[in-house]
Chains A and B, each alone.
Chain A
Amino acid sequence: MSDPSTSEQTEHTLHPLKKIEIIVRGEKEPFVRDLLDESNISGYTIHHNVTGRGEHGFHEGRLLFNDRDSLVMFFAVGQEESIQTIVDGLTPLFEQSSGVMFVSDTSVVRLDKFLKED
């Protein structure tokens, strides 16, 4: 049993951050991963084999023998400046390659999880 004198009050405050969701062809997964790895965010999630309809038509995700044409979705949360760096890298990419990104306001409880230690 922990010592009540050393435990701190659990914090339930919500902290505002930005969330980015990115959908690209599987072929661009390494590019986006590199971009996220080099940005100042602490982590991200990848969904493989995403299905959906885009400007060029429908993309079925569950392909048994093709990892190149399937769609991949990333999402990540971070401070506005870090998300802006990612947006700066993706904006030129989407001039040429198909894909989308959505940036939105979000809130997190454990802020320290999303702040990268330099």
Chain B
Amino acid sequence: MPIERSVLRARIENAAEYIGPLWPLQTFNAANPLVGFEDQSFDQAVQQARQLLGGRGYPHPSVFRQAWENDEIDPEILTRHLADHGITQRPEVLLDRMESDDRSEPAPPSDEPLDRVTVKWLSAFLDQGQAAWPMPKRSDGFYAAWRAVAPYDNAVPSITRTADLPDTLLEAFEEVLASYPEKRWESIFVHHLAALPGWTGFIKWRARRGNTEWQEAYPITLADYLAVRLILATHLDAAVTPDRAQDLPANGTDRPFLPQIWLRAWEKSYRDRLLDTLAQANKDPQASRDRSPNSARPDAQFAFCIDVRSEIIRRHIEDQGAYETHGYAGFFGVPMQHQPYGAETTVKSCPPIVDPKHRIIDRPADNTAEAVDTYGWWTALETGRRHLVKTLKSNVAAAFGFVEGSGGFFGGAMAARTLLPSALFRLGTRLTDWIPQPTAFTEPTVDRPSADDADWENGLPVGLSHEAKVLYAEAAFRLMGWTDRFAPLVIFTGHGTQTPNNPYKSSLDCGACSGNPGGPNARVLAAICNEDAVQNELREREIDIPDDTVFLAGQHNTTTDEITLFVDDRTPTVPSDALAQVKDDLKAAQAQATTERVRTMNATVDSGQPRAAVRETERRAADWAETRPEWGLAGNASFIIGPRRLTETVDLDGRAFLHSYDWATDEDGTALENIMTGPLVVGEWINTQYYFSTVDNAAYGSGSKVTQNVVGKVGIVQGNGGDLMTGLPLQSLQIDDEHPFHRPLRLLTIIHAPTERVDAVLDRHASLVQLLDHEWIHLTIMDPTQNNRFFHYEAGKWTAHTDASHASAEPALAARTS
């Protein structure tokens, strides 16, 4: 039966909608594992996903019990919700019932032998440099390479000769699908893709970005995967179309059930307490005036990423003196690929939903030859050492002698890493002080090279045109509503984590930079904003930057809360005393912020020691056995779009994304539109990833770090094989085996703007309406034209918020005491 290639391709594309994309470890991106189900209501989506992927959609009853016992669920709200569905039993009785219902859920069936063989060949083919002996014939593509080696696979004895297998991909499909009508193909494909959603999610990612080095060298598509798997199924007597794949997963029922009601009650409890706190903080007009934009010029202003971790450090910086902070997406609005100094490859440094438009290369600045030489000498030494060690380790002849000869040295290093992580951290700090770092002697190629020297790669030009520079600078200030009142010092502060021996490092870096540190983007925006030509044009657009304002870039180390400023101390562009004061204050803020964070990490520190908490975080940053260097974005629950003055007097407990926005300077709503369609969508991806990783860590997370292994440098498996794990590890979500730190709540968005303004944005964006109507996020407006009253978006309508005075006497969010 001949198969039309274009039809086959479309059926596979449709089937792949049910699989979330999985990025390789180096650029671990937060994404909703159920992104392909977002066109359905949350409830129907999780029911379908349960059928297909076997994952839980709502928190385990024990999680609800803990929330209930910790007073995180308001009894009145819960009772009201239950009553709306005709349920009058006591919450404790319902918790018991949920637990007994939960135990009776059947386990999903498994295709174990077929999975095992498929995974073996996938991990061999997709290896990205970990294997010393790679699979042969990979450059022919996955199907052809597998076809060549399949006769040697003892697990499939029925394949004895390559000639037994179909010559081409298309012939493979024709052979297997001959007896099925086209309308059945999709359900067959869905079943086999969903059997290994980790591997297929990774192939989906890699195949769609054909320009990656590995994909170009060793091409693989989902069609390759399906052809191999379907042929294997016929040889292993596994069902090509098992019963459960007779049809695509059925739509879920509309039956309200207990976990759904409890989750909504929990979310509303969080919402009402947060709104109550915001209302209290903003009811005193005098306090608002004191914090109005017309008060005295601050000494410095910082722009941080909207990341929930920024909320903590921002609070403590503001406490130190005349400092203001703003929130902006941590790629600082520059959609770029970044090539760090000395690196041969570039990394994407903008959100997963944005395509890079520029290539930025770090190159040595003028008069830095000495620093360049010193750095070059040290890195050449280190590269040579690594190369030698790798060669000796993987060489059959040398491996045994190498272990004998070097065992003492490596044993000592292992002991130091294990027993003296803090000392190693201090040694590392001293080394980086001593050896010049690239950030000190390089500058980003912000300018376009001359036309005859133009350097393009993957269709991306190096540097930015003048128009692009003005666009990104203006976008930054317009989106933040920051069009006047610039301090003498403005610091764009990206963020990155510090953690050794951690395959999940990129999950702790900046989500707006596709799992990379945001410092390079901050440097680009600072360089742009320091240009006279850009400032002149901004002035014409009524963004008046004073002549004495200097823009700097920095990076917030989210493990230790240290903020490094990218400034050449030998030739600082700001007065050295002002710079020294800022650095001192940042240290003080670090001490306070780490004290706050360490309390949540099961750590015991000597509170009598002034920098004990800093030391503890530094140990975590250096300890190769530390499974939880920091909490990442765990706890995230809300996304607040509005001026900082609304929130600066409250402690949001590191649970809120904060995007600065001023409705009064955004008359046509463009800024709000860009925030809602960009950063908010990324926030939803992050929030849903944390949600699903928490509610079902086996299906949507990645299990305990203790039993994880890296495979092929692309992903993580549990134990020695199986599917690639797709989400976050347990230690990033739970305090211990039984207590989640991350509370699985869907993202509550709060926008400080008139309802008409938000309506106008929603009218233009069906995709946002879909997220709201299907309850993937919740939305509340704080309307400044109606005395800051709150309105909730509910089923396409605005519902006025009723007073939250009935909320628990134990507010979840405390006012700031300082």
A: residues with CB less than 8 A from B are 28, 30-31, 34-35, 38-39, 54, 56-60, 63-69, 85-86, 88-93, 95-97
Contact = CB atoms under 8 A, between A and B. Distances in A.
B41 to A, nearest CB: 14
B475 A54 contact: no
Interface in B669-698: 673-674, 677-679, 681
B764 A60 contact: yes
Size category, B interface: 20 to 34
Contacts of B4: 85, 88-89
B7 interface: yes
A114 to B, nearest CB: 19
A66 B11 contact: no
A56 B766 CA distance: 6
B769 to A, nearest CB: 6
Contact of A89 (B10, B335, B475, B764): B10
Contact of B14 (A30, A67, A95): A95
B674 A63 contact: yes
Given A60-B765, A96-B17, A91 B10 contact: yes
A68 B353 contact: yes
A31 B222 CA distance: 12
Contacts of B681: 66, 69
A56 B7 CA distance: 25
A93 B353 contact: no
B353 A38 contact: no
A93 B14 contact: yes
Contacts of A60: 673, 677, 764-765
Q: Which 6 pairs, one residue from A and one from B, show the smallest C-beta to C-beta distance?
A: A65-B678, A89-B6, A57-B766, A60-B764, A92-B10, A68-B353
Contacts of A30: 208
Given A30-B208, A86-B6, A69 B767 contact: yes
B13 interface: yes
Contact of A92 (B7, B329, B673): B7
A39 B4 CA distance: 12
A65 B11 contact: no
A34 B5 CA distance: 11
Given A63-B673, A63-B678, A65-B354, 15 more contacts: A35-B9, A60-B764, A63-B677, A64-B674, A64-B678, A65-B674, A65-B679, A66-B353, A66-B678, A68-B353, A88-B6, A89-B10, A93-B14, A96-B14, A97-B13
Contacts of A86: 6
A75 B674 CA distance: 28
Contacts of B769: 57
A99 to B, nearest CB: 11
A28 B16 CA distance: 12
B502 interface: no
A96 B17 CA distance: 9
B333 interface: yes
Contacts of B333: 64-65
A85 B475 CA distance: 43
Nearest to B674: A64
A85 B767 CA distance: 30
A68 B763 CA distance: 18
A30 B208 CA distance: 7
A1 B395 CA distance: 71
A65 to B, nearest CB: 3
Given A58-B765, A59-B765, A34 B9 contact: yes
Contacts of A91: 10
B382 interface: no
A103 to B, nearest CB: 15
A97 B17 contact: yes
B37 to A, nearest CB: 12
A49 to B, nearest CB: 12
A54 B766 contact: yes
B770 interface: yes
Interface string B556-591: 000000000000000000000000000000000000
> Which of B333, B765, B766, B769 has the largest number of chain A CB atoms within 10 A?
B766
A88 B11 CA distance: 11
B764 A58 contact: yes
Contacts of B335: 65
A97 B17 CA distance: 9
Contact of A56 (B208, B329, B354, B770): B770
11 contacts: A30-B208, A38-B5, A58-B764, A60-B677, A63-B677, A65-B354, A65-B679, A88-B4, A88-B6, A89-B7, A92-B14
Contacts of B11: 92
> Which of B677, B763, B769, B770 has the largest number of chain A CB atoms within 10 A?
B677
A54 B765 CA distance: 11
Nearest to B16: A31
A63 B679 CA distance: 12
B355 interface: yes
Nearest to A89: B6
A86 B335 CA distance: 32
B539 to A, nearest CB: 22
A65 B353 contact: yes
A66 B333 CA distance: 11
A56 B769 CA distance: 9
A88 B770 CA distance: 29
A69 B353 contact: yes
Nearest to B15: A96
Interface string B351-393: 1011100000000000000000000000000000000000000
Contacts of A66: 353-354, 677-678, 681
Nearest to A96: B14
A34 B678 CA distance: 27
Nearest to B210: A30
B13 A65 contact: no
Contacts of A54: 766
Contact of B353 (A57, A59, A67, A92): A67
Contacts of A34: 9
A93 B9 CA distance: 9
Interface in B503-524: none
Contacts of A97: 13-14, 17
B405 to A, nearest CB: 51
Contacts of B208: 30
Nearest to B6: A89
Contacts of A58: 763-766
Contacts of A96: 14, 17
A88 B7 CA distance: 6
B9 A89 contact: yes
Contacts of B770: 56
A82 B7 CA distance: 14
Contacts of A88: 4, 6-7
A35 B765 CA distance: 28
Nearest to A25: B767
Nearest to A56: B766
A66 B13 CA distance: 21
A88 B182 CA distance: 12
Contacts of A89: 4, 6-7, 9-10
Contacts of B182: 92
Interface string B202-227: 00000010000000000000000000
Contacts of A57: 765-766, 769
A35 B6 CA distance: 7
> Which of A30, A65, A86, A95 has the largest number of chain B CB atoms within 10 A?
A65
A93 B763 CA distance: 26
Contacts of A38: 5-6
A51 to B, nearest CB: 8
Contacts of B677: 60, 63, 65-66, 69
Contacts of B763: 58
> Which of A30, A89, A90 has the largest number of chain B CB atoms within 10 A?
A89
B6 A85 contact: yes
Interface in B396-426: none
Contacts of A85: 4, 6
B13 A64 contact: no
A69 B35 CA distance: 13
